[in-house]
Amino acid sequence: MQPEVSAGGTSQCIVLRRSALLYGVAAGFILVAAAAVFTTLASRTAWLHAAVAALTTLVVLSVVLVQDARRRPASLKIGSDTLTAWNRAGQPVAQGRIAGFAQWSGWLLSIALVGDNGRSRTLLVTADMLCSDHFRELSVQARRAAHGAL
């Protein structure tokens, strides 16, 4: 899908792909947490009790991952100094002025948004969620807006 540019050229809507990087990191965390629970309890209780606790940990964290995936942004609308994110159901997830920004290599952007009510929200955008041109443009706009907010 091509980005949409408004008549003034100041905002565009970008559709985000699901991030294999975020899912991989989350799955790795879940497996490490379940293994840690099993290892800790196996030396103190029966093997079966440790396995049940580890399986419970695995299931609970997996359910939380699925719920979080529903709230993740599916599209972004970039303004001159604002950003709006929507989930796959078309509901706004985050909206506000870009107040902070961090970039880790060419892989991850962390963008802090401050809404009209003063509440802040942080969005994580990985490089595999959008094409390299949009990722670069988003990082440049976020950097400019964040430095302008200081």
pLDDT in tens, 24-82: 999 999 999 999 999 999 999 999 999 999 999 999 999 999 998 888 888 988 877 78
Classify domain 4-17+74-149 by CATH architecture.
Answer: Roll (2.30)
CB-based burial label for 130 (10 Å; 0-12, 13-18, 19+): buried
Confidence bin at 3 (pLDDT 50/70/90): very low
Per-residue confidence (pLDDT) for residue 83, from 0 to 100: 86
Written as one letter, the residue type at 9 is: G
What sign for the dihedral angle of Cα 16, 20, 21, 22? Answer: positive
User: In angstroms, what CA-CA distances link 51 with 6, 32, 128, 141?
Assistant: 56, 14, 35, 48
**pLDDT tens digits, residue range 76-123?**
888 777 888 988 888 888 888 888 888 888 888 888 889 888 888 888
> Is pLDDT above 50 for 1?
no
Find out whether 138 and 109 touch, Cβ atoms under 8 Å: yes
Confidence (pTM)? 0.71
Nearest C-alpha neighbor of 134 from the set 144, 125, 123: 125
Task: Name the residue among 78, 147, 81, 140 with its Cα closest to residue 106.
Answer: 140
- What pLDDT sits at residue 30? 97
